[in-house]
Chain A
Amino acid sequence: MYEGIRSPAIHTPRSVSEFISTASHYPHAVIWAGGTYIMGRPNYYPSDGLTDIIYLGEIADLKKITRNDRFIEIGSMVTASQLLNAGKLVLSDVLLDTLSKVGSKIVRKQITIGGALCTPDIRLVLPGSLAILDAIVEVKQIQGNKTINRWIPVSRLYDKDGQLLLTGMNLITRVRIGLETGNFQRFMMVDSPVHDPKRCVIFAFQCTKGQSNMSKAHFCFTFPTAGFHISRELETQLSGQPLPVPPQRINRLSFALTSEIHKMHPQVTDLQLERCRRMFEAVFHELNTEVLEE
């Protein structure tokens, strides 16, 4: 049935340095983390395109979670399930909420953090939440015999349309997340980014809620195949905003947001725009409720 289909060669490095040497020998090899994205492609098998696979599952250094008093570092091969099990001691609410909404437990065991950040043409749930937490990733870029090591903020890994900006042979080794986060965090998702990418909207929000005003507001809207939206201008407008936020102000901000998204991401559908306006308003109403309850 599959005569003539070449079986790809599997390389299983056991350390990052071994990976670098393998990757420089096979620059066109596919880097395999959890495999959920690659195997979900419609033309995955049988396919002639795959000639070499570098499987990262044997690199122990990529499976570590470490924490100090300033930040937590997560290896790129840590699975969503392992990270969720690390629990509240190491993760912020928004990240816990995000991870618990990634597929089901069966799929979470296979999804890796690095893999979830590196899908080339679709943005899934994790990048938005990591971006608002100001997470940075360590990227090892392999250029022939040279390796360039860089720390890049998650928000700069993608262009405005959500396309991955890393080109060539790159390896994300660690994700570093600061422990200083806002005291009001929300994660919302409508529809599945895998099954309904044209309808799905993912929203992550955090701010520091003070006695009378809010500060350090960060938010990110992800439209799986249409955009990755962080509005620095609106974030600045929100920081310093007196609390509770009057409904008219929320209304004005949400319309400003949707018109900005419409202008910057023409592929975002009207349904997604309407959903993102409602989600944005819902988060502010929740914030107001919490403030008034206090």
Chain B
Amino acid sequence: MKIECTIDGKHLSLSVNSNKPLSLILMEEAGNQSLNSRCRGNNCGNCIVLLNGEAVLSCMIPAFRLRGADIKTFDSFQKTRACHDIERAYAATGSKPCPNCYAAKTLIIESILQGLERPDDSQPFPLPARGRVQNLTEELDPENIIQELELNRCRCMDSAELLQIVNIAAGYRRRRRVRRN
């Protein structure tokens, strides 16, 4: 099957089996370095990528759903300002994920932060109608955030550390948006 898609900003035309998982396409066809997953759909949570801007487990996306898709892996995400917010939060807390799950945990945190900014799309993180972005840090629901972060099964960090990172990163994101507005 021939699919045309964009991976990390590069427009590619790939000839792959129609049911091949995106994780294998990225590792074997696109030569992606940041993806570190061999669980084959068993939910290790290490293969997270952004598909059309939304975080997905790439081992759960077959090739036939990729026509015209825009895929962003950690390779390109790490060059963005959004990633910089999260990396600053790692530095501020003095703890960061292990190299094995660094990319996946960072992308999950990004997905949580995006969910906070788009409340309609993220009922598990409800926000008040007024001052949504301004109230990011006050409105974080620890239980939901921990549930999200548990998608990655690497236990290199505890929940309290991760929550602190999300809180700090949300604060940086909020301040950047306030400045832009």
Binding site for B on A (CB under 8 A): 1-2, 5, 7-10, 32, 35-36, 39-42, 44-46, 50, 53, 55, 57, 84-85, 87, 100, 103-107, 109-110, 194-195
Contacts and interface: CB of A to CB of B under 8 A. Distances in A.
A106 B48 contact: yes
A144 to B, nearest CB: 27
6 A-B pairs closest in CB distance: A40-B41, A7-B17, A104-B151, A39-B41, A10-B64, A85-B123
- Most chain B CB within a 10 A radius of its CB, from A5, A40, A41, A106: A106
B115 interface: yes
Contact of B18 (A9, A42, A103): A9
Contact of A45 (B40, B64, B147): B40
A40 B18 contact: no
Contacts of B151: 103-104, 106-107
A2 B18 contact: no
Nearest to A83: B123
Given A45-B24, A106-B57, A35 B124 contact: no
Contact of A39 (B18, B60, B108): B60
Contacts of B43: 40, 107, 194-195
B19 A8 contact: yes
Contacts, number: 90
B171 interface: no
B18 A1 contact: no
A29 B135 CA distance: 50
B60 A87 contact: no
A85 B121 CA distance: 7
A107 B57 contact: yes
Q: Which of A8, A42, A104 has the most CB atoms of chain B within a 10 A radius of its CB?
A: A104
Interface residues of B, number: 37
B6 to A, nearest CB: 20
Given A53-B18, A105-B115, 18 more contacts: A2-B20, A5-B17, A7-B18, A8-B19, A10-B1, A10-B18, A32-B62, A45-B40, A53-B64, A85-B123, A87-B123, A100-B124, A104-B147, A104-B150, A106-B55, A106-B56, A106-B57, A106-B151
B153 to A, nearest CB: 8
B5 to A, nearest CB: 15
Judged by DSSP, the binding face of A is: loop
A36 B111 CA distance: 19
Nearest to B54: A109
A110 B17 contact: no
B123 A110 contact: no
Given A40-B43, A40-B60, A50 B124 contact: no
Contacts of A41: 41
A45 B19 contact: yes
B115 A2 contact: no
Contacts of A103: 151
Contacts of A46: 17
B41 to A, nearest CB: 4
Contacts of B42: 40, 42
A35 B66 CA distance: 14
A104 B148 contact: yes
Contacts of A57: 65
B148 A39 contact: no
B1 A42 contact: no
Contact of A84 (B56, B115, B123): B123
A133 to B, nearest CB: 20
A221 B17 CA distance: 40
B19 A105 contact: no
A235 to B, nearest CB: 31
Contact of B56 (A8, A40, A55, A110): A110
A251 B56 CA distance: 45
A106 B108 contact: yes
Interface string B15-41: 011111100100010000000000011
19 contacts: A5-B17, A7-B19, A8-B18, A9-B18, A10-B64, A39-B60, A40-B42, A42-B40, A44-B19, A44-B41, A45-B19, A53-B18, A84-B124, A87-B123, A105-B115, A107-B57, A109-B54, A110-B57, A195-B43
